[in-house]
Amino acid sequence: MKNVILDCDPGVDDALAILLALNSDNVGIEGITTVHGNTTLDQTTKNALRVLDYFGRLDIPVAAGASNPLLCEVHNAENVHGKDGLGDVSNIVPYSTRREIETPAHQYIIDRVSSGAVKTIVATGALTNIALAFDNNPEVMNTLDELVIMGGAFRHPGNVSPVAEANFYADPEAADYVLAQDVKKIIIPLDVTHQVILTPELVKSIPDNRSGIFVKSIVKRYQNFYMNVWALKGNPLHDPSAIGYVINPDFLALEQFQANVETLGKHTRGMMIVEQRAGLAGINAKPNAYIATAVKAKEFMDYFISSVSKA
């Protein structure tokens, strides 16, 4: 079993990722750290606690992190996830009986990595907390076995601009800084997450147990957004795809590239820039990340449905 810290901004798809991890025998959640993103930091922190309370996992600590990006203005996605970030539904825990721990997220991350308890971090929000952790203690952070990142668009259009994906756009400076670190990085971009589509028919197939009621409740608004705005047959499983990789790396095919994030461009800010000219004369590419370029979509979706169908 891999013990992980999930650094996230719940968020409907973050909540689905938490559920997928909770129901897996291959992943143990050491802790959850929250960041600005899909909604405010205060709300993403409340949501992480709400999800854990709903599933009776009061043993998992939640540490609140950065409420703002390193340099730019806050960007949220409440138009996608709802004002409360979880689809504005009332039939799950409306609030938690507990609070986040006092330790800031970046320090909690450093402490758990330093102790040896965590060798894998899964980041499914803006990378502000991760950047702060590396900035404060790069020696410890670079001892990680892997940093799994849901973010970026490779050969796929962006989802907040023609070229930028939401998590990298939310804090481009943090994303670019993190990609420059020595640790092994696995990037799960829109290219693969948009191939794993949770349709209304699949949602109906999930039984009405505790997990099933949770999924059916929070995805309604989220799913409608992707069907109406993106003309998809359902909603992509963005953040669950990152947890899916940790559970079974064979779900994804990876290729190694040099990747950076644009921080200055008027029209390209937040864009993941991938050097694809390696091997050409005069091109000195320095691969720094593994990017998922293909996914076993049906196999992963079958696993997802089976997992969230557990009581």
DSSP letter string over the chain?
Answer: -EEEEEEE--SHHHHHHHHHHHT-SSEEEEEEEE-SSSS-HHHHHHHHHHHHHHTT-TTS-EEE--SS-SSS-----HHHH-TTSSTT-SSS-SS-SS--BSS-HHHHHHHHHHHTS-SEEEE-S-SHHHHHHHHH-HHHHTT-SEEEEE---SSS--SSSSSB-HHHHH-HHHHHHHHTSSS-EEEE-HHHHTTSEE-HHHHHHS-SSHHHHHHHHHHHHHHHHHHHHS--SSEE-HHHHHHHHHH-GGGEEEEEEEEEE-SS-TTTTTBEEEE--TTSTT------EEEEEEE-HHHHHHHHHHHHT--
Give catalytic status of residue 75 as yes or no. Answer: no
Residue of 36, 106, 238, 267 marked catalytic: 238
Indicate which residues carry an active-site annotation: 238
